[in-house]
Amino acid sequence: MTTYIAYCRVSTDKQGRSGLGLEAQEAAIKAHLRAGDLLLQPPYVEVESGKRDDRPKLQAAIERCRRTGATLLVAKLDRLVRNVAFISNLMESGVEFEAADFPKANRLTVHILSAVAEHEAKMISERTKAALAAAKRRGKKLGGDRGYRPPSPPETALA
């Protein structure tokens, strides 16, 4: 029997509003659980870039894992972090974590996968910057306040 604390993350407000990415993560987390496992409530849900290390909900989930001895559970490793240094620090902190998409991952594979995720994030950023520069060269107006205010993230089905 393992006690878990769930952490789900999507990167954009649009993904957070649709709830689809969060629902898929919650389904993967539930499917990962075995008879006798305990999933502590509430789950920690965040709408934030995986490149950022200062995610309040992730920090709260990690702290709760420390206090309770629970294992942090994510649907996919890239939902946890896309930064090798952060994953190394998490591994050294003593907080156990599992990714439902790769439950048997060891320290080596986690480091390799986080390095790939970090590289992928860098490539996404470079492609986005290039696309925005191309749009700007075509005369498209970028940025500015258009009155949009993101709503709060949706309630999670894991609760």
51 neighbors 75 (Cβ within 8 angstroms):
no
Phi then psi dihedrals of residue 119, to 5 deg? -65, -45
Question: In the annotation, is 11 catalytic?
Answer: yes
Q: Which residue has the tokens 């986005």?
A: 128
Cα Dmax for the chain: 59
Three-state DSSP state, 123? helix
Q: How far apart are CA 15 and CA 22, in angstroms?
A: 8
CB within 8 Å of 51: residues ≥ 6 apart: 82, 83, 121, 125
* Buried b or exposed e, range 65-100, using 16+ CB within 10 angstroms: beeeebebbbbbbbbbbbbbebbeebeeeebebbbb
Catalytic residues: 11
